[in-house]
Each structure stands twice: as structure tokens, then as C-alpha cells.
Amino acid sequence: MATDTDTDGLIGGESGREQDRDRTGNALVNWMEGLSEAAYAYLLLLPAFALLTLIAFYPMIRTFVMSLRANETRGLDPLGGFVGIENYVDILTGNARLARQFLDVGLTSSFPFIELGTPFFQQALFVTLAFAVISVIFETVIGFGQAYVLDQEFTGRRWVRVAIILPWAVPIVIQGMIFFLLFQPTVGFGSDLMQSIGIFSGTPLANSRDAFIIILVADIWKSSAFMALLILAGLQSVDRNLYDVARVAGASPWQRFKMITLPLVMPALLVAMLFRTMDAMRVFGLIESTAGCTTVPSLSCLVVEAMFGGTRIYATAAAVAFATALVIGLIIGGYVLLFRDTEGGMY
């Protein structure tokens, strides 16, 4: 049976531990309060950096290590010995066996594809860059227009927002099947309509140029809503009193847009463009479900076909994947350098 002295000792011990915890907590709080704003921001971002390192940087490093080894098409190990940058040289010069997957690509020299003799990696890179640039430009313009309309007060705005956002909710595979069926000569009316006005051939999904345009339209139809959402968030953060002051000062609608709306919405606009550019550079599902990678190749198509196309050229696939990541990284760096002085900009 515990005595009063024992009970007092237990209570005193627990109180001492609580005091130690309080002192430790206070010291931690005091240390955090003493940090600068930049240091405190990095402290809060530390878990995100750790997670990013785990799920992004480590696989990228492993991919680079794989790309430095030879392809092994026999035996159980899919990778051979160390060959350095040989795989990168092969994909840049056209010596990689990726060409076997895309024999039907570029049979014509018409836009958007380069001549047939061009190395296939460069051709896929050209197609991917062209797709990213054209789609992002159109999606930005259309999305800005949609966001500008949705930012106004009018009857039925709620239903208009739903109608504009609805394409973004459509899964990529369903989106691809919609346009696939739309331009099937025996099923949809799109092929006959475009052929009657002299734009497309009789089988547009089998023609590289026609299929490229169809995939562009499909992506613009879906992703403009994403751009509109991000830009609308930027528009709604603009102080409405600024427009009242501008009206009193006699500013025209164009002057109000140029001097108030565009500068203040620019940070949100650049973030939206950056996200869409990165997404467009990784395009694969829309191409595969609409026309197929053999008709419209992209960098992601090269990776998937090399890895899962039955040729077991894993090292080459890793080289293409890492090269794609480098291209995307360069584009992100270009955004940051180009718009680093924008008010509220990229930093």
C-alpha cells in the first residue's frame, strides 16, 4: 500500500516531467520565433522537400543510372554493363532502335513533322514542343477570355461556370474516345465535314498532320477550363476599388484592362501557363487514345514504347525519360528567368 510520502514523490516526479516538457516546448517556440521569415518558410517547406526527394528526385537519379547501362535483350537481367552516355548519343543521332516503333511516322514532309530521315528522338521532341507551345498559347487566350466573362456579374453565371468547367472533368481516355469516334469515317461526322471543306483527308486519324490537329483541338477543348479556373482566381483577387478610381479618372475599358487587370493577374497567369506547359510536355494518354503513338509520336510515347513495346530496351527508355525531364526542367528554368521580375511573380 502506497504511503503519503510515496504519493507525494510520484506527484512531484510527474510535475517535474511536465515542467521539463514545458521548458522544452518553450525553448522550441522561442527558437522558431527567432527565425527570419525566409528561414521559417523553409522550415515549413521541409516536409514537402523531403517528400519530393523521396518520390521525385530519387527515381530520377535511378533513371539516370539505368540510362548509363547497356540494353540486355537476353537473359533475366534487362540491363547490361556500363556504357556511359552511349544511349544518349544513339537517341540523338537516330541509332537507337526506337525507330522500329515509329516506321509510319513522317511519311510526308508537311507540317508539323520533319523529314523522314530526321532522327526519331528529334522528331518526337519537335512534335512535343510544337504541341506544348501551340496548345498553351490557345488555352491561355481562351481561358483568359472565359475567366474574364465569369468574373462579371450576370444572370445565370453559376450555370455558365458549370458549362465551362465540365470538359475538365472528362477523363483523358473518355476525351480521346470522343474525338476518336468523332473522326472515324464510318461513325462520326467530323471526318466527312472536314473533308468536304478541304481541311482533312478521308482518314484523318491515320494521317500525321490531321491527327496532330485533332489532338490539339481535343486538348484545347479540355484544358482551357483549367486555365480559366486559375486565371479566375487571380481576377477575383483584384481590388474592385481600383476600377472605380480608374473610371472616375476617365480610363477607358482597354486602359483599365492594360493598367489594372493584366498586371495584377499576371502572377496567376504565369503559374497557370507553367503548369499547363509541364503537363503538355508529358502528353501521352490523349495521343494513344485518339490516334495512337505510331501516328503522332511524343517523348512520352517513346518511353512507353521502348519500355513496354516488347523490345526490352530499358536503358534506352531510361535515357529518353531522363532527357525528357531535362527538357522540362529547362523550360521551367526559362519561365523563372523570363518572368523573375514580374510583380508578385515566379518567386
Model confidence over 281-329: pLDDT tens digits? 999 999 999 988 888 888 888 888 888 876 778 888 899 899 999 999 8
Q: Using 50, 70 and 90 to split pLDDT, how confident is the model at 144? A: very high
The answer to whether residue 140 scores a pLDDT higher than 90 is yes
Query: And the C-alpha cell for 126?
Result: 519537335
Question: Using one digit for the tens of pLDDT, what is the confidence trace for 175-185?
Answer: 999 999 988 88
The predicted model gives 101-120 an average pLDDT of 47
Query: And the C-alpha cell for 149?
Result: 466573362
- Which of residues 67 and 6 earns the better pLDDT score? 67
Beta strands at 79-82 and 69-71: parallel, antiparallel or unpaired: antiparallel
pLDDT at 102: 41
Q: What is the DSSP string of 113-142?
A: PPPTTS-HHHHHHHHHHHHHHHHHHHHHHH
Q: What percent of the chain has pLDDT over 70?
A: 82
The answer to whether residue 212 scores a pLDDT higher than 70 is yes
Query: And the C-alpha cell for 296?
Result: 503522332
CATH of domain 120-306: 1.10.3720.10
Q: CA–CA separation, 138 vs 227, rounded Å?
A: 10
The predicted model gives 233-245 an average pLDDT of 88
Domain ranges of the chain: 120-306
Q: What percent of the chain has pLDDT over 90?
A: 16
Question: Using one digit for the tens of pLDDT, what is the confidence trace for 13-64?
Answer: 555 555 555 555 577 777 777 778 888 888 888 888 888 878 878 888 899 9
Contact 320, 281 (CB under 8 A): no
